[in-house]
Structure 1
Amino acid sequence: MDNSVGTAFLQEDSTIRLAIANLNESHIKIVLVVSEDRVLRGTISDGDIRRGFLKGLDINSSIKSIINRNPVVAPSGLCRETALLLMTANNIQQIPIIDDERRVVGIHLWDSITEIPARLNPMVIMAGGLGSRLRPYTENCPKPMLLISGKPILEHIIDRAKLEGFSRFILAIHYLGNIIEDYFGNGERMGVKINYLKEKSPLGTAGALGLLNPRPNMPFVVTNGDVLTDIHYSELLDFHNKHSAFATMAVRAHEWQHPYGVVQIDGIDIIGFEEKPIHRSHVNAGVYILEPDTLNYLEVDSHCDMPTLFERLQANAKRTAAYPIHEPWFDIGVPDDLHSANNNGKSCG
C-alpha cells in the first residue's frame, strides 16, 4: 500500500489541464477526484483524458464528464494477494484504498505490490529435534532434511520465506546437525544468509533461542523445522506489529467429533441429548513472532518449550496474541504425516 497520494488529489471543479499536470507530477498514473474531506468521487486516467479529447473536449474543459464514477476500490486492510488479484482481474494498475466513509486513505500500486519488500527480520528455524517418532526415516537423516516432493522440509520453509522478502535465517541444530550445515552452508547457494545455533543437548521448541548472540534488535520469526504451511510469514509479522503483541502464536482450528451420542445429566436426571457433538478448539501451529525482550524469560542452555515461554510471558502481563490460520498446514511428526505431506506436497512450500 502506498500512502503518498496527496499530489494525486483533484476536486470536481478542476479542468483537464489540471488533471494532466496532476498526472505528470504524480507517480501513481491516476487522478483521485475527491471532495474537500477526501471522500472519493471517482478517478481519471490518461486513457480517460484521451477519450475526452476524442469527444471534442480540450484542456480547459471540466473534468466532470471524464470521471470514472465507479472505480475499483479496496477497503483498508485488504491483503496484498487479494489486491493483486483485483488488479489482474480488472486489468488495472492502481486501486484506491478507502475507509468506511469512502475517504481515501491510500492506494495499492501494481509496481509496489509486485515488488517484494525486503524483510530484515530474522527467522529462526528449530531444526534440532531427534525425530524419534519418524524412525526408521530419521536414523541417518535429521527430520527437517526429510524430502517432500524431492526437496528437504527445511528448504521448502526457506524458499517460501524468501518469496516474502526474508533473507536472514538462523538454524537451531543438534541431532545430525552436520548434515544440515553441510547442505545449506552459509546460505549463499540459496541467495540468503544462514547462521547456526548448536545445541549441546535438546533444548525444546524455545530453549535454543537462549543461545542467540547477538540478540535480534527487532521482532523475529520462529518456526518449527517440521512444519510445512502456506502461511504468509510477512502477514503474521504485520499482524503482530499491528496488535502491539509481545509474542504471537499462529493457531489452527481443530475439530473433533465425539464417536457417541452424549447424554446430558443433572444428578440422576437426564436433561438432554447431543448426538455425536463436534468439539472445536485451536492448536499451536508451530510458527511464532517474538519481540527481542522475550529472550529475557529464557535461560542459556536450559530446556524450554514454546507453550512454557508463552505462559511465562502471560504470568508477567505481557500481551500474547493468537493468529488464526486457514492455509494448508502439515506437521511432519509421524510416518503417516510424511506420506500425507508428500501426497499433497505441492500445496505447501
Structure 2
Amino acid sequence: MIDRADLTVAPETSIRVALERLDRSRLQVVFVEDAAGRLVGAVSDGDIRRGLLAGAVLDDHVSGIMNSGPAAVAPTASQDAVDELKEQRGIRVVAVVDDGGRLVDVVGEGESIGTPLSTPVVLMAGGRGQRLYPITKDIPKPLVPLGDVPMIDIILGRLREQGFRRVHVSVNHLGHLIEAHLGDGSRHGLEITYLHEPMPLGTAGAIAQLRDRIGEDFVVMNSDLLTQVDLRRMLAFHSATGAVATIGAREYGFEIPYGVIRREGDRVTGLAEKPYHSELVSAGIYVLAPDALGLLEQDEYCDMPTLLARLMDDARRVSSFEIREEWIDVGRPEDLERARQAWERNGR
C-alpha cells in the first residue's frame, strides 16, 4: 500500500520539499498529484538535477521540473506488462492508477503488481511434516525449497501478486526458524505477524487467537500448497453466496485397475473395465467469515473439518469453490518432486 506522506506532492510544492520527500522515499521517486488526486507527474533525483542545471532554484514549484509523462498502468495490468514497461523506459518504478487517473499503488524494483487488499490471510505453518521425514527433521516443511526457493516464499510471492498484504503465520514445530526467515514480512512487501501454538492445535485451532483481531472475511490456507488459484475470485464467490465458510474444492480422481462387476444379488448386470472414479476433496484453502471464530476456544485443538461441522450443525451455510488451476499438496516425497518439477518448468 502506498504511503502518500512520503510518495506524493502537489504541483505547487517546492523542489526543496520534493527533495526532502525523495530522501525518505524507499522508491527514489515522488509522484505529483493535482487537486483532484490525479497523477500528473513524477520527480526523481535526475529530474531535480537536470532542473537545477537548467536554472531552476530550490524554491521553484516542482511542476516546472517534473516528468509530466510518468510510467503508469491500470490495476488489471499483468506482471509481464509491468516488466516490459520498466525495460522500455529504463526505469525501476511504475505507478498504478485507477480509471480516474488516481494513484492507487506503485510497483518498485523486485515488486509485483497487485491491487492492495485489506483481507487477511492465515498461513498454517505449525505442522511437523512427518510424511516428508527425514527432510523435515531439522527444517520446517514451509522452508523446504523448490529449486532454491523455500515453499513459503513462493506462496507469499503469489499472495502479494494478488494484492494481499496482511498475513498471519501460525507456528509451532521449528517455528523459530520460520520467524527468523520471514521476519516482519517487509522483505516480501507484506505485514507478517505470528500465531504461536503452545502445542499442536490442528488445522483450525490457532485461528482462535484472531477472534477480536479480524472484522472481515479472511483466507486460511496450508503453507505446503503450490497453487495458482485466484483467491480474489474465491473471496468474491464466498461473498456472493452469503456463506459463513467456503471450502476450496479440488477434483480427485483415480482409476480402479480391475474390471468392476455390477450385479443384483448373484446376477451380473454389467462389467466396467478399469472405471475412473472422482470426488471433490478439500484443497486446504478456506474463506471464513469472522463470526466463525466464535465457535473456537482459545488453545483448543480443532481441525478444520470439525469447525466446518460445527458451523453446519448450527445451520450456517458452508459453500464449496472448485479450484481448477494448478494445485499440488506437498505432503509426500513424490509430491515434493512433482512440485519441484512444476516450479522448474514454469519458473514461478
TM over 0.5: yes
Compared with structure 1, are the counterparts of its residues 190 and 317 closer, same or farther at alpha carbon in structure 2 (3 Å cutoff)?
same
Q: CA offsets per residue over residues 270-299 of structure 1, 9 Å max, x none?
A: 112222111111111111100001111111
- The amino acid of 2:133's aligned partner reads R
1:328–1:348 CA contact under 8 A, matched in 2: no
Q: In structure 2, do the counterparts of structure 1 residues 290 and 348 end up closer, same or farther at CA, with 3 Å as the change threshold? A: farther
The correspondence of residues 53-92 of structure 1 with structure 2, limited to 5 A, is none
Shift of residue 109, structure 1, vs aligned partner: 6.3
C-alpha distance 166-200 of structure 1, shift in aligned 2 (>3 A): same
Return the alpha-carbon distance in structure 2 between the equivalents of residues 111 and 339 of structure 1. Answer: 46
CA contact (8 A) 2:121 2:167 kept: yes
Letter paired with 1:297: L
The one-letter amino acid paired with 1:153 is M
Q: For 1:116 and 1:142, how far apart are their aligned partners in 2?
A: 29
Counterpart CA distance in 1 for 2:236 and 2:138 is 39
Partner of 1:222: 220
**Contact 1:124–1:221 (Cα < 8 Å) also in 2:** yes
Classify the secondary structure of the residue corresponding to 2:214. Answer: coil
Assess if the C-alpha contact under 8 Å between 1:121 and 1:166 holds in 2: yes
Answer whether contact 2:123 2:168 (CA < 8 A) is retained: yes
Aligned to 1:129: 127
The residue number in structure 1 matching 2:289 is: 291
2:307 aligned to which of 309, 334, 341: 309
Aligned to 1:277: 275
SS at 2:239 equivalent: helix
8 Å contact from structure 1 (residues 329, 348) kept in 2? no
Letter in 1 for 2:193: N
Residues 165, 111 of structure 1: CA spacing in aligned structure 2 closer, same or farther, 3 A cutoff?
A: farther
Q: 1-side partners of 2:319 and 2:333: how far apart?
A: 32
The alignment-based identity, stated in percent, is: 38
| Deviation of the 1:81 alpha carbon | 8.6
Q: Does 1:152 align with 2:150?
A: yes
For residues 245 and 284 of structure 1, the distance between their equivalents in structure 2, rounded to whole angstroms, comes to: 16
Matched with 2:253 is: 255
1:138-287 equivalences under 5 Å are: 138-212=136-210, 214-287=212-285
TM-score w.r.t. structure 2 length? Answer: 0.67
**Residues 63-96 of structure 1 deviation map (CA, whole Å, 9 limit, x = unaligned):** xxxxxxxxxxxxxxxxx699x99xxxxxxxxxxx
Deviation of 1:348 (Å): 8.0
Unaligned runs of 5+ in 1: 1-26, 28-79, 86-107
- The structure 2 residue matched to 1:334, chosen from 313, 332, 335, is 332
Following the alignment from structure 1 to structure 2, what is the Cα–Cα distance between the partners of residues 315 and 342? 40
Measured in 1, the distance between the counterparts of 2:101 and 2:336 equals: 39
The separation in 2 between residues aligned to 1:81 and 1:284, in whole angstroms, is 31
1:121 is paired with a residue whose SS is strand
Q: 1:24-55 CA deviation, whole Å, 9 max, x = no partner?
A: xxx9xxxxxxxxxxxxxxxxxxxxxxxxxxxx
- From the superposition, tell whether residues 281 and 111 of structure 1 become closer, same or farther in structure 2 (CA, over 3 Å): farther
1:267 Cα deviation after fit: 1.1
In 2 relative to 1, CA 199–233 (structure 1 residues): closer, same or farther, beyond 3 Å? same
Residue type of the alignment partner of 2:278: R
Q: In structure 1, what is the Cα distance between the partners aligned to 2:121 and 2:142?
A: 15
Instruction: Name the CA distance, whole Å, in 2 between partners of 1:110 and 1:175.
Output: 48
1:136 corresponds to which letter in structure 2?
Answer: P
For the residues of structure 2 that align with 1:109 and 1:276, how far apart are their CA atoms? 55
- Please say if residues 123 and 169 of structure 1, whose CA atoms lie closer than 8 Å, have aligned partners that are also in contact: yes
- Return closer, same or farther for 1:318/1:260 CA change in 2, 3 Å cut-off: same
Structure 1 SS opposite 2:325: coil
Instruction: Look up the SS of the partner of 1:336 in the other structure.
Output: helix
RMSD (Å), alpha carbons: 2.5
Residues 123-151 of structure 1: CA deviation (Å, up to 9, x unaligned): 00000000111111101100011101311
Q: Higher Cα Rg: structure 1 or 2? A: 1
**Maintained 8 Å contact 1:230/1:348:** no
Q: How many pairs were matched up?
A: 248
- The one-letter code sitting in structure 1 at the alignment partner of 2:322 is P
Report the AA paired with residue 304 of structure 2.
M
Preserved contact between residue 140 and residue 174 of structure 2 (Cα < 8 Å): yes
SS of 1:122 mapped into structure 2:
strand
CA distance in 2, matches of 1:250, 1:236: 8
Distance 1:81 1:171 in 2: 29
